[in-house]
A and B are shown apart, each in its own frame.
Chain A
């Protein structure tokens, strides 16, 4: 930034203002002092006829001039005036033909006065120069700050994300252009203290937020850091906006919160797409269930007929169709569960039941699919948990089916149920292909599937573990896996014990 021209200085009356700045800083003191000296000379000679009479007033006139010029132009201006004044005094002494004692006295006075004038010039000029410097610095600092502000503002306005800046001292907010575009309105600068003073209704998970509960105010007033919070803004005309908001407090050197900044992403379209997708999956799944229902009924009918004829091959074929129909049904149920999880509609009906019994029943059902796997489970005393029986069976089925699917026939599968401080722990261990360390965390992700060494995938849509994770998580339990590639995997989960 080019330094500001020193036009900012103390305001001083300037009789030569129109002469142009550069020249008159030396011209003005010269001209004015000569004018003053000539004027004094004129008064003394033509009116008063008494040089002594103007001695003292003349000193004041000169001091006033020196003060003025040293204040206006600094030390230089004062010294020029001093020089002219001393010159004038010497001219007087010369022109009056002083001699002897008188000459010495006059010269001494001149030296004395000259030193006084020079002293005044230096002191006042220095004061003035220092003052000017301070003022210039202050102004430059202000300009720098202003430029910084303008720069920041234009950067913020260019960002493709909404930004709110809130100030603690003024209790006010400022929005960038993008946020105004999202909201299609200007932000009211003052942070409202009450819900009745807000224009839009802000909700989170269907609950209306008071201004105090907004992410930006949470950051500003309570120092909370808000990350990826999803809120909904309902405008007076009924339009809904879905926003993903972050907010963070800004602290000064003493850790005091002075401001807060919030970033706002408009995820309305995203949400609408997701909603439409979920609606579609939901509808399609239900529509698919109807033909499966009648397929299963007709299969039952056929089987009953064929059973009487003892046609073994046809019976086998029908059994296979039946198994495939069941698989289709499971896939549809999984799809529905995934869509329920994503719309937050997965509901549980909890009851107290014996987890060991659940494991036994699951083995009985799933074990039929196993090809010679040896499923080992030693039932001990009953371990009661408080959970949704059907959903926990679903998790057990998923884990056991996976163990069978990913391990060779005739290998062992070990299931254990134990009690560990107020929790029930279930583990399902197989000796199959195992999971790579870098895949371990991802197996619980939606639609993730483990591949083997030849990158071969296994049948299925990869929804089982994702659903299981959500079920266990919503039961306040934990689910995790330990595995070694090529040696097998152990899936574990915990559930809170039933209090009764």
Chain B
């Protein structure tokens, strides 16, 4: 079973996304705190991270950059999501595999996740 970590500061998004992804057959863990993202990656060892760009407290792009700089996490694909479409270039520059703007169709997100995990 593939593992996905969801990082977003909005509980509604985290809860619903977690449920949907579990229904799709993934093992899911999540956090609403940006600074918990890195430790979670190290303990949970996900196959993919869904990461919000603007998380209160931390910047998702910094988290992404750190993941990409750490040898044993740099190969984990990161799909970044944000309500601010203008953050797309900086998200991709930080090493994100894809950027999806909120609000998104679940199918679009699932397609993107599947593509990275194949």
A residues near B (Cβ < 8 Å) are 286, 289-298, 300-301, 304, 325, 329, 345, 347
* Beta-carbon contact of B106 and A293 below 8 Å: no
Q: Does B10 contact A (CB under 8 A)?
A: yes
Flag B83-118 by CB within 8 Å of A: 1 or 0 each. Answer: 110100000000000000011111000000000000
Partner of B83, one of A290, A295, A297, A298: A290
- The 3 closest A-B CB pairs, nearest first, are A294-B12, A297-B16, A289-B83
- Which residue of A is nearest B81, CB measured? A293
Partner of B13, one of A294, A300, A301, A304: A294
* Beta-carbon contact of A294 and B10 below 8 Å: yes
Cα distance A293–B15 when bound, in Å?
12
Cα distance A225–B102 when bound, in Å?
47
Residues of B within 8 A of A297 (CB): 12-13, 16-17, 20, 106
Q: How many residues of B contact A (CB 8 A)?
A: 17
- Which residue of A is nearest B107, CB measured? A300
Cα distance A289–B84 when bound, in Å?
9
* Beta-carbon contact of B19 and A296 below 8 Å: no
Residues of A within 8 A of B105 (CB): 296
Given contacts A294-B10, A304-B23, contact A289 B103 (CB under 8 A): yes
Residues of A within 8 A of B16 (CB): 294, 297-298, 300-301
Interface centre among A291, A293, A301, A304 (most CB of B within 10 A): A293
Residues of B within 8 A of A325 (CB): 103
Interface centre among B16, B19, B84, B86 (most CB of A within 10 A): B16
- Looking at chain A's contact residues, is the secondary structure mostly helix, strand, loop, or mixed? helix
Partner of A300, one of B10, B83, B106: B106
B residues near A (Cβ < 8 Å) are 10, 12-13, 15-17, 19-20, 23, 83-84, 86, 102-106
Cα distance A155–B105 when bound, in Å?
64
Cα distance A301–B10 when bound, in Å?
17
Query: What's the nearest-Cβ distance from chain A to residue B32, in Å?
Result: 12
- Which residue of A is nearest B106, CB measured? A300
- Looking at chain B's contact residues, is the secondary structure mostly helix, strand, loop, or mixed? helix
A sample of 19 cross-chain residue pairs with beta-carbon separation below 8 angstroms, ordered by A number, consists of A286-B83, A290-B10, A290-B12, A290-B13, A291-B12, A292-B102, A293-B10, A293-B12, A293-B104, A296-B104, A297-B12, A297-B17, A297-B106, A298-B16, A300-B16, A300-B20, A301-B16, A301-B23, A304-B20
Cα distance A347–B20 when bound, in Å?
34
Residues of B within 8 A of A292 (CB): 102-103
* Beta-carbon contact of A301 and B103 below 8 Å: no
Cα distance A167–B13 when bound, in Å?
66
Cα distance A329–B83 when bound, in Å?
11
Partner of B103, one of A296, A304, A345: A296
Cα distance A289–B54 when bound, in Å?
13
- Which residue of A is nearest B23, CB measured? A304
- Which residue of B is nearest A302, CB measured? B16
Query: What's the nearest-Cβ distance from chain A to residue B89, in Å?
Result: 10
Cα distance A497–B12 when bound, in Å?
45
Residues of B within 8 A of A296 (CB): 103-106
Query: What's the nearest-Cβ distance from chain A to residue B107, in Å?
Result: 9
Cα distance A178–B103 when bound, in Å?
50
Cα distance A301–B106 when bound, in Å?
10
* Beta-carbon contact of B20 and A293 below 8 Å: no
Known contacts A293-B13, A297-B16, A300-B106, then 20 further A-B pairs from the complex at CB < 8 Å, ordered by chain A residue: A286-B83, A286-B84, A289-B83, A289-B103, A290-B12, A290-B102, A292-B103, A293-B10, A293-B103, A294-B16, A296-B104, A297-B12, A297-B13, A298-B16, A300-B20, A301-B16, A301-B20, A301-B23, A325-B103, A347-B86
* Beta-carbon contact of B83 and A293 below 8 Å: yes
Query: What's the nearest-Cβ distance from chain A to residue B68, in Å?
Result: 24
Cα distance A291–B102 when bound, in Å?
10
Residues of A within 8 A of B86 (CB): 345, 347
Interface centre among B19, B20, B102 (most CB of A within 10 A): B102
Cα distance A293–B81 when bound, in Å?
11
Query: What's the nearest-Cβ distance from chain A to residue B49, in Å?
Result: 18
Residues of B within 8 A of A345 (CB): 86
* Beta-carbon contact of A289 and B23 below 8 Å: no
Residues of B within 8 A of A291 (CB): 12
Interface centre among B12, B19, B103 (most CB of A within 10 A): B103
Cα distance A301–B12 when bound, in Å?
12
Residues of B within 8 A of A293 (CB): 10, 12-13, 83, 102-104
Cα distance A300–B110 when bound, in Å?
12
Residues of A within 8 A of B17 (CB): 297
- Which residue of B is nearest A286, CB measured? B83
Cα distance A347–B84 when bound, in Å?
14
Cα distance A290–B104 when bound, in Å?
10
